[in-house]
Amino acid sequence: MATDDFFRSRLDQMIDLRHPLVVLSSRIPWSQLESVLAPAFARQSRDGKVIERDDMFGPTLQVAGGGTSPAGRPRLPIRLMAALLYLKHAFNLSDEELVARWSENVVWQYFSGLDYYTPKLPCDATQIGRFRSAIGEAGVEELLKATIDTAVQTKAVRPSEFERVIVDSTVQEKAIAHPVDSRLLEIARAKVVQAAKQVGITLKQTFVKEGRELRRKAAGYAHARQSNRLRRTVKRQRTILGIVLREITRKLPTISNGCATAIARLNTLLERAERIRTQQPKDKNKLYALHAPEVECISKGKARKRYEFGVKASIVVTHKNGLLVGARSFPGNPYDGHVLSAQLEQTNILLEGAGKLPKQVFVDLGYRGIDHDNPNVEVIHRGKYRSLTQLQRRCLRRRPAVEPTIGHLKANHRMDRCWLKGKLGDALHTVLCATGFNLRWLLRAMVRLGLKAVFLRSLWRRLLAAILENEARRDARRAPGVVFQGW
């Protein structure tokens, strides 16, 4: 409890304490989150460097820089950074928009654990990304688990509802441009030339002007459906990229004083550029983005969007109330049914505190033939319709309820495009989108439960007033000498 400040007003005196986010701030187990995430930010003990020195007694060995150093900027509170991640995905904001709105929103500051209004930014926008990377996939799963535990603790969901869940998969697209061959070849040529100049390699010809012109021509030919001219243009782009790659490969061993990091980056670009140059339209394991080699081409059979470029993500929602109890990404474009056991494993870990585990799983036909891989649960889909009971058939009708959840995740919680780097970024982004969805779900539950309590309280007061009024009239009627005139 902070002491009163004469020059500043406390946040709890400036806001409505019945606001759903204010009520939710006292329900989330912040102390438990801080204790779990704190080891990721503990100062590490480092081995010292042995230095040989000469003193008045001769040569000696000294250790410099060993132990745990107290130097460095103090870290920001874990609750503040965790609250920023919650708010970012709950209200669909970028890092820059998040810190700007946080400095103006007193309710958000109260939710983050502050006692007094702070008009400045909570942190630099880049620190949110560093915090997210530091806690890792296990840390963001703890954030998701905290929302589930809060739902149970506030009685917004009964633990028995976790025994029936709905599982479905979707595609979390990566923030890349559409992978057209002509564009990939031109980007590869430009990036390789730029990296070669950074390490000190002088090229005889960089094909800058011709490369741009070929890219423009390829776009025009593709729009006009002139396939022969487009094919010749792309072939020329492959040729000039090969010329540049071979010249850099010949001159790379002659570099003696280049930066090791720049040379390593150049070697990576050379390898990826060669993949782009030699891959054909129908090849397997194609490279769809120079900066994101983990991107896959996934076809979900949609008429509106035939191919999506990203990673497959699986989500689990409760059958009745639609609370997210699992979200995970699966690189490699696996078959939907093959990821069910791994997805249920994550769900079981998240539901440890609830005391109930899934027993019935409602899925679509993409999960057929995997009963033997999941012996502890009953997998129900419409392929088994004749063998289902009346209750199971009635419950199966609610399986499509997971589709609007996927739509909300993509439209309102940033799952439509993943801007984070690598496979780890895909995994973190999937779980954080589910965390933001659950926070909005809890806000609606706070309103629903609060309105119910207010309604019951007002109903009880009206009933009690009516009872007292009837008793007063009855006493007045029974009083001697009083003529009853009617109600």
The CATH number of residue 424's host domain is 3.30.420.10
Residues 346 and 402 in one domain: yes
186/316 same-domain check: no
Residue 206: the pLDDT is: 93
Domain closes at, from 101, 120, 155: 155
214 within domain boundaries: yes
Contacts of 428 (CB under 8 A, 6+ apart): 132, 133, 136, 137, 140, 420
- Tell me, yes or no, whether 143 and 110 share the same domain: yes
Q: CA of 132: how far to CAs of 53, 114, 352, 427, in Å? A: 43, 21, 24, 11
User: Based on the domain organization, do 358 and 234 belong to the same domain?
Assistant: no
Parent domain of 340: 157-176+296-438
pLDDT of the residue at 320:
92
Check residue 486 and give its pLDDT.
44
CB of 362 closer than 8 Å to CB of 400: no
Q: Is residue 449 part of a domain?
A: no
Same domain, 228 and 151: no
Q: Which of 87, 120, 155 is the last residue of a domain?
A: 155
187 falls within a domain: yes
Distance CA(45)–CA(71), nearest Å, equals 13
Question: Can you give the pLDDT at residue 223?
Answer: 95
| 344 found inside a domain | yes
Nearest residue to 115 via CA among 25, 199, 201: 25
Distance CA 344, CA 347 (A): 5
Cα 105 to chain centroid, rounded:
23
Q: Note down pLDDT in tens along the chain; length 487 residues.
A: 555 676 778 898 888 888 999 999 999 999 999 999 999 888 776 666 777 777 666 677 676 666 666 667 778 999 999 999 999 999 999 999 999 999 999 999 999 999 999 899 999 999 999 999 999 999 999 999 999 999 999 999 999 999 999 999 999 999 999 999 999 999 999 999 999 999 989 999 999 999 999 999 999 999 999 999 999 999 999 999 999 999 999 999 888 777 888 999 999 999 999 999 999 888 888 999 999 999 999 988 888 889 999 999 999 999 999 999 999 999 999 999 999 999 999 999 999 888 899 999 999 999 998 888 888 899 999 999 999 999 999 999 999 999 999 999 999 999 999 999 999 999 999 999 999 999 999 999 999 888 666 656 667 777 888 888 888 887 777 666 545 444 3
Closest CA to 232 of 219, 218, 242: 218
- The answer on 15 and 128 residing in a single domain is yes
What does the pLDDT read at residue 413? 95
In terms of domains, do 172 and 185 share one? no
Same domain, 168 and 313: yes
Relative orientation angle of helices 422-478 and 78-90, to the nearest 10 degrees: 90
Q: Which of 148, 139, 82 is nearest to 347 (CA)?
A: 148
Is 131 found in the same domain as 22?
yes
Same domain, 90 and 1: yes
Q: Which amino acid is at 325?
A: V
Is residue 450 one of the residues assigned to a domain? no
Residues across the chain? 487
Cα–Cα nearest to 144, from 384, 387, 434, 407? 434
Q: Does 288 fall in a domain?
A: no
Domain count, the chain: 3
323 & 368 share domain:
yes
Q: Is residue 475 part of a domain?
A: no
Q: Are 186 and 214 in contact (CB under 8 A)?
A: yes
**Boundary-marking domain end, from 248, 278, 308:** 278
Same domain, 204 and 151: no
Residue 161's pLDDT is what? 93
477: in domain? no
